[in-house]
Structure 1
Amino acid sequence: MEGLLVRNQMFKKGIAFMLSLLLVAGLWQPRPSVQAEESLKVNAAAAILIDSETGQILYEKNADKMLGIASMTKMMTEYLLLESIKEKKVSWDQEYTVSEYVYKISQDRGLSNVPLRLGEKYNVRELYEAMTIYSANAATIALAETIAGSEANFVKLMNKKGKELGLEKYKFVNASGLSNKDLKGMHPSPGSAKDENMMSAKTTATLAYHLVKEYPEVLETASITKKKFREGTDDETNMENWNWMLPSLVFGYEGMTGLKTGSTDFAGYCFTGTAERDGKKLISVVMDATDDKGKGNHKARFTETKKLLDYGFNEFDRKEVVKKGATVKGYESAPVNKGKEKQVAIKAGDSLAVYVKKGEKANFNNSFRIKGSEKESSEKVQAPIKKGKVVGFVTLTPQKGSELKYVAHKDKNQAEVPMVAAETVEKANWFVLSMRAIGGFFAGIWTAAIDTITGWF
């Protein structure tokens, strides 16, 4: 009986011990959705993830390395076309007559193309849809010729626009993103058959940022999964979108809206993706993506993009830290020079949201500078000032943790909010200004006299 009691006690202790181990194991088990940046392994030569509304960088890998971009080049062609449409230099129903160069490229079915007949007319809209949905290369060159007269002239516009947009590491040698060697000896000059379009991941994301921010309508076309080119004619072509992450396609991803794939032997498999969920809008870029075995393929660029987007959607909260029209504590007004009033009330001219890691607080230090000056609040705003005019900027920097980084700001380590005048301040007349000057003069003399007398004693 005693042996039985001992065995029962040992059994109970053993059960208790096992339960304790299970409890401890449960407490220490990591949250299944958490994927820290340090453990995020993106199989690509370079990658970046940003917020599409502010350009805030959430993740980057080799983001400043210049690499081949293949058909992601077409984002610049899209930008320049949409800009030309906006400025009424080109219209959607404008017709283009196929050149011999465009004809020869279009007949190469080894490249992504729709057939274009020599001397036949096509309108800008159908060429744009072929480029944006199907990445049609000859159609892209046709648009370049429409806008600039020749692809060579268009390449000059591409590089010029890159400078205007603040792009830092880029080289455009043709409009389509094909390797120059594939352009059948007709590549734009100056340039050689060995030249390639190149950008860094950060520059690619910056270009995408400007494209979707300034011309969001591009996503309406980029998200079309299928369309027929020249439907009902002998040249009817099924255009299937190369972005297989669009929701109804084979690698469908919830919230995917665009934007541009690219692949050549030189560039490998690349993709700039745009997606939106729960008020978060993200842009991802992968360049020369591979699978876990180091092999590049169509699937790899989408698999690696999914990792990036999942990281952004699952691991960050988007928090509005400044509301449009609100005052910013400590900067409720700005000093005015030569105004009827010496101060002008100011408020946020725009809202600002930042991404912070889940569980972290959005605590920031603020500083203010007058517009057009690197100095801070010691300088004054010049009267007259109209209500709504931008008078300066409030800069936010985190109190703790990593600094905020952006792809499209002059100072890429800071977040800025434009501050606007909440009221109109007229310029003071000469009499008021004279009285102020006299008052300032005598105030200066009085202060100097007091300082002197104080020194006597």
Structure 2
Amino acid sequence: MKKRMLKRVVPITMISFLSLSPFQSVVYGEGKIDIEADAAILVDADTGEILYKENEDELLGIASMTKMMTEYLVLEAIHDGKIKWDQTYKVSDKVFLLANAPGLSNVHLLENESYTVRELYDAMVIKSGNGAAIALSEVVAGTEGEFVKRMNQKAKELGMEHYQFVNSSGLSNYDMFGYHPEGTGVNDENMVSAEDMATLAYHLLKDFPEVLDTSKLPYKYFRKGTSEELLMKNTNALLKDRSSYYKGADGLKTGTTPFAGSTFTGTAERDDTRFITVILDAKDEYGQPSSAARFIQTVELLDYGFNEFKTFEYSLDDVDKKKEHLLPVADGVESEVKINLAKPIKMRLNQNKKNKIKVLFKPDSKKLNDKGELQAPIEKGEKIGELIIDNPPKYEYIVNKKRTETKVDVYASATVEKANWFVRSARKIEEFIGKLF
């Protein structure tokens, strides 16, 4: 298991409620979620925190969401200078056949015609063109078989654990008329767990945020002004001007096959907060596979994220609101020094739990004398301790590295020089007399 609980050195108070359903879903909040799907997950796109999950590790069909890995490898090749947006590709016999096969999602590509990488990429992302995806696999790796090897290798590099990529498009191999990639079987299927689809989406957004420039487009013309002109409609119904518009939605990819059912990896951003959702094999109220249900359930997950969770900041004010954040300094020219933070601690929490967090200031023991006081001299900007969240929330993450900071350095905001011998002696005499009287 790659998800890890945050480690604590002191007992904590759990600030999340765990709600178990017949699907063994886990909810980190107070709201109610009712998801009818084989698997689902909601993730904070910034930190990788899992806010809701059910059957998240089960290996399931993903259909055209496979194209997200193809997108990643194409964008990586562009970034590394191995291919260019304006370079052209001449349609192979395999791509011509599959791009024009009846019943498959496609932008039709002409025999012996050449298309730019940009045209193929747009057709793949917006219209979910299967032929375009296969064409791009040939551009990047020479053959789709070699490309599939790279897909699985990249999944491993990204920390995915439950996955099987068998082609670049998400088609069932048996629908490829015998043109399934070398090294794969005719009955093989693209399969990934909900958590690992969220992991792929997380890295796609982090490494290549420009993916949203295309995935957010509800419509785009393919080869406008030519005999091949086609108005491509994005398969994501949550986008603006589409049937199930959701404010802030801008990606990522749908998928539908008889094997996988209706699937969707979504993302939306509001007020600098972004969430990732995954729905695998959505069902309607009668338990039947439903294309519309994947969007309805995605909205339910996104609403839960935006309504229940907020980003809160913690500072020295949360240690003591009555003080001006002054600490006494022993043997200094000044008897105290003002302290401040490099930055506040930011945490995504259930909004009703903000005041449950315990914040402490922990001074650096090396800066203290035997009496536990700050010892002069002190330099401006010198680290003198840390602000610490003493009872961090218990969350799981889709990535190994803990990304939510639970402490931040505290600095002196001024220099306090050490007082001379005469001043120190006078203070000690004054202190002694004070104790006598």
Kindly provide the amino acid, as one letter, of the partner of residue 300 in structure 2.
Answer: K
Q: Does 1:254 align with 2:243?
A: no
* 8 Å Cα contact 1:395/1:415 also seen in 2: no
Q: Does 1:403 align with 2:397?
A: no
* 8 Å Cα contact 1:49/1:60 also seen in 2: yes
Within the candidate set 92, 104, 123, 2:85 is matched to: 92
Kindly provide the amino acid, as one letter, of the partner of residue 268 in structure 2.
Answer: A
Kindly provide the amino acid, as one letter, of the partner of residue 307 in structure 1.
Answer: E
What's 1:319 paired with? 312
Q: What's the secondary structure of 1:84's corresponding residue?
A: helix
What's 1:337 paired with? none
- State the TM-score, normalized to the length of structure 1: 0.69
Kindly provide the amino acid, as one letter, of the partner of residue 409 in structure 1.
Answer: N
What's 2:35 paired with? 42
What's 1:206 paired with? 199
What's 1:80 paired with? 73
Query: Displacement of 1:317 after TM fit?
Result: 1.4
**Higher RCO structure, 1 or 2 (CA under 8 Å, sep 6+):** 2
Q: In the aligned structure 2, how far is the partner of 1:95 from the partner of 1:121?
A: 6
Q: Does 1:215 align with 2:204?
A: no
Query: Displacement of 1:37 after TM fit?
Result: 5.5
Aligned structure 1 segments of 4 or more residues deviating by more than 3 angstroms:
35-39, 320-323, 350-353, 394-398, 414-420
* 8 Å Cα contact 1:173/1:195 also seen in 2: yes
* 8 Å Cα contact 2:255/2:263 also seen in 1: yes
Larger radius of gyration: 1
Query: Displacement of 1:129 after TM fit?
Result: 0.4
* 8 Å Cα contact 1:73/1:176 also seen in 2: yes
Kindly provide the amino acid, as one letter, of the partner of residue 219 in structure 1.
Answer: L
Classify 1:126/1:352 alpha carbon distance in 2 versus 1 (closer, same or farther; 3 Å): farther
Q: What's the secondary structure of 2:281's corresponding residue?
A: strand
* 8 Å Cα contact 1:291/1:297 also seen in 2: yes
* 8 Å Cα contact 2:63/2:256 also seen in 1: yes
- How do 1:48-67 and structure 2 match up within 5 A? 48-67=41-60
Classify 1:279/1:105 alpha carbon distance in 2 versus 1 (closer, same or farther; 3 Å): same
- Higher deviation after alignment, 109-118 or 264-273: 109-118
Task: Percent identity, please.
Answer: 49
What's 2:218 paired with? 225
Q: In the aligned structure 2, how far is the partner of 1:94 from the partner of 1:199?
A: 32
What's 1:4 paired with? none
- Provide the alpha-carbon RMSD of the alignment: 2.9
What's 1:147 paired with? 140
Within the candidate set 395, 409, 415, 2:404 is matched to: 415
Classify 1:228/1:159 alpha carbon distance in 2 versus 1 (closer, same or farther; 3 Å): same
* 8 Å Cα contact 2:86/2:118 also seen in 1: yes
- How do 1:162-173 and structure 2 match up within 5 A? 162-173=155-166
Within the candidate set 359, 363, 385, 2:357 is matched to: 363
Q: In the aligned structure 1, how far is the partner of 2:311 from the partner of 2:242?
A: 28
Q: Does 1:239 align with 2:232?
A: yes
* 8 Å Cα contact 2:345/2:407 also seen in 1: no
Q: In the aligned structure 2, how far is the partner of 1:64 from the partner of 1:397?
A: 31
What's 2:267 paired with? 274
- Could you tell me which runs of 5 or more consecutive residues in structure 1 were left unpaired when the two chains were aligned: 1-34, 324-346, 369-393, 423-457
Q: In the aligned structure 2, how far is the partner of 1:292 from the partner of 1:365?
A: 45
How many residues in Structure 1 have an aligned counterpart in Structure 2?
Answer: 337
Q: In the aligned structure 2, how far is the partner of 1:130 from the partner of 1:57?
A: 32
Kindly provide the amino acid, as one letter, of the partner of residue 254 in structure 1.
Answer: K
What's 2:282 paired with? 289
What's 2:130 paired with? 137
Query: Displacement of 1:233 after TM fit?
Result: 2.3
Within the candidate set 152, 172, 178, 2:171 is matched to: 178
Q: In the aligned structure 1, how far is the partner of 2:177 from the partner of 2:387?
A: 52
Kindly provide the amino acid, as one letter, of the partner of residue 354 in structure 1.
Answer: M
Q: In the aligned structure 2, how far is the partner of 1:237 from the partner of 1:351?
A: 51
Classify 1:65/1:246 alpha carbon distance in 2 versus 1 (closer, same or farther; 3 Å): same
Kindly provide the amino acid, as one letter, of the partner of residue 110 in structure 2.
Answer: R
Query: Displacement of 1:235 after TM fit?
Result: 2.1
Classify 1:248/1:88 alpha carbon distance in 2 versus 1 (closer, same or farther; 3 Å): same
Q: What's the secondary structure of 2:353's corresponding residue?
A: coil
